[in-house]
Amino acid sequence: MAHLLRGLNQAYRRSLRIPGGPVSRHVYPARAPASIKSVRVIHDSSTNRAAVAAHVSASPQQESTLKTPIVEGSAIKAYSDTVNDFVGVPNIWLRDNCQCSACVHEVTKQRLLDTFQIPRDISITSAVKDSQGVKVAWSDGHKSYYNDDFLAQAALKNNGVIRQGLEKTTLWYSSISDNPPIVQYDAAMNSNEGLKEWLSKIREYGFCYVDGTPPTPEATEQLLERISFIRVTHYGGFYDFTSDLASKDTAYTNIALDAHTDTTYFSDPAGLQAFHLLSHTAGAGGASLLVDGFRAAADLQAQDPQAYELLSRVNVHAHASGNAGISIQPYRGFPVLLHDERDGRLAQVRWNSSDRAGIELPLEVVGSWYEAAAKWHALVSAPEYEYWCQLTPGRVVVFDNWRVMHGRSAFTGKRRICGGYVNRDDFISKFKVLKWGQEGVLKALAVG
């Protein structure tokens, strides 16, 4: 609604780099992510209504859609899907990205080539196309070979697939309860295929259960370490705590927690979080709540683009100050809905009202943020978004803390829960290497 933004003054518009014209012209993202290829309708049997789920097909360009580079005299041309034509590949870029063992260290994969020793006027003395790629002789005497795949991807706009570990995304409502993503502990522990399936499901759905896990902290920790080392924070690393409120000797509460993401007080929030309920005695309650933040964001964007824009542009600060001598805050504020600046894709949901600090708006117009945030809160608290599940010993839930919000209902009695965080980059790195192989990931460094 326009009134949300009507109050924003000129200075604030400038600080957001919004030109003086109507903000509605700059609804963020400016265009649909290039990766959305098709829309699939999921029939929700429980409510008998069709829920539209954007099905993001972000797999790498298929071989058949890659266009073979062409050689014209001494110029090499790669296909650009932006201009829908072949474009010249700059010599400096081509020479800088030579893949030979003199230019890239065979073991460390680091660049050996001194980029700034390349003559700025370097030219190609000969370029010869063969069945696999292009053989190039350079004016500085060096020889290079470029695979067709490498050159075919070089000028495509959707070339962050491998780098970002993009996977098709299935957005969901609470009806995911009919068929939630699950893998088995033995498969995840004992085979790379099982591990890949687990991480692929987390990428696709934002969470996945691991069933058949021995109900011990040791097994749970080992399971998480299949992905990567566990992130240590000021609260510690892998945790295992008992909430025994009967004795009132714990800092942990039994109150209900609204859907939120964790560690908004870090510039780089935890990528994954795992919970394993090891036991719950002498009480009831404590159901776990999961909400697909990307689903809710897509719906908010459709229903109220200006509220969406505001939550995407206004930076919000956060803090963790409960421990003596500590007040952790990110180096800058971040919006609730953080987008990839390159392709406009929603990259991260940061939502934690408990840890929220300043909102980067002039005080006299800060009310507009509250209006947009209230819309978001109403959406993510609606029953159709809230997937409630009762965790049981043996079932670990692992979720993407950049996408899926979590919470829980109040409980009584004594619960023992263990779990931990994994860094986002470590998670994505493991997923990428499992999906495309070390070779595939390395080949795509300059263009993937």
55 vs 142 by CB, closer to Zn ion: 142
132 vs 323 by CB, closer to Fe ion: 323
From Zn ion, Fe ion, none, interface partner of 410 (C-beta below 5 to 8 A by class): none
**Cβ at position 132, least distance to Zn ion in Å:** 17
98 vs 447 by CB, closer to Zn ion: 98
Cα dihedral 129/133/138/141 (nearest 10): -110
**Cβ at position 251, least distance to Fe ion in Å:** 15
**Cβ at position 139, least distance to Zn ion in Å:** 14
137 vs 189 by CB, closer to Zn ion: 137
Residue nearest to Fe ion (CB): 262
Distance (Å) of CA 1 to CA 30, 147, 304, 367, 372? 17, 51, 7, 14, 9
Task: For 201, list phi and psi in degrees, rounded to 5.
Answer: -70, -40
Rule CB under 5 A: which residues touch Zn ion? 98, 100, 102-103
**Cβ at position 98, least distance to Zn ion in Å:** 3
Rule CB under 5 A: which residues touch Fe ion? 262
**Cβ at position 87, least distance to Fe ion in Å:** 47
Question: 293-303 and 367-380 helices cross at what angle (nearest 10)?
Answer: 120
Query: How far out from the chain centre does Cα 39 lie?
Result: 20
Q: Could you say which DSSP state residue 257 is in?
A: E
Q: Could you say which DSSP state residue 283 is in?
A: -
**Gap between the Cα atoms of 26 and 106, Å rounded:** 46
221 vs 262 by CB, closer to Fe ion: 262
From Fe ion, Zn ion, none, interface partner of 262 (C-beta below 5 to 8 A by class): Fe ion
Longest dimension (CA), the chain: 82
**Cβ at position 320, least distance to Fe ion in Å:** 12
From Fe ion, Zn ion, none, interface partner of 100 (C-beta below 5 to 8 A by class): Zn ion
From Fe ion, Zn ion, none, interface partner of 27 (C-beta below 5 to 8 A by class): none
196 vs 260 by CB, closer to Fe ion: 260
**Cβ at position 87, least distance to Zn ion in Å:** 23
204 vs 262 by CB, closer to Fe ion: 262
From Zn ion, Fe ion, none, interface partner of 50 (C-beta below 5 to 8 A by class): none
User: Mind spelling out the 3-state secondary structure of 132-192?
Assistant: CEEEEEECCCCEEEEEHHHHHHHCCCCCCHHHHCCCCEECCCHHHHHCCCEEEHHHHHHCH
Are 317 and 356 within 8 A, CB to CB? yes
Residue 76: burial class (beta carbons within 10 Å; 0-12, 13-18, 19+): buried
From Fe ion, Zn ion, none, interface partner of 52 (C-beta below 5 to 8 A by class): none
From Zn ion, Fe ion, none, interface partner of 400 (C-beta below 5 to 8 A by class): none
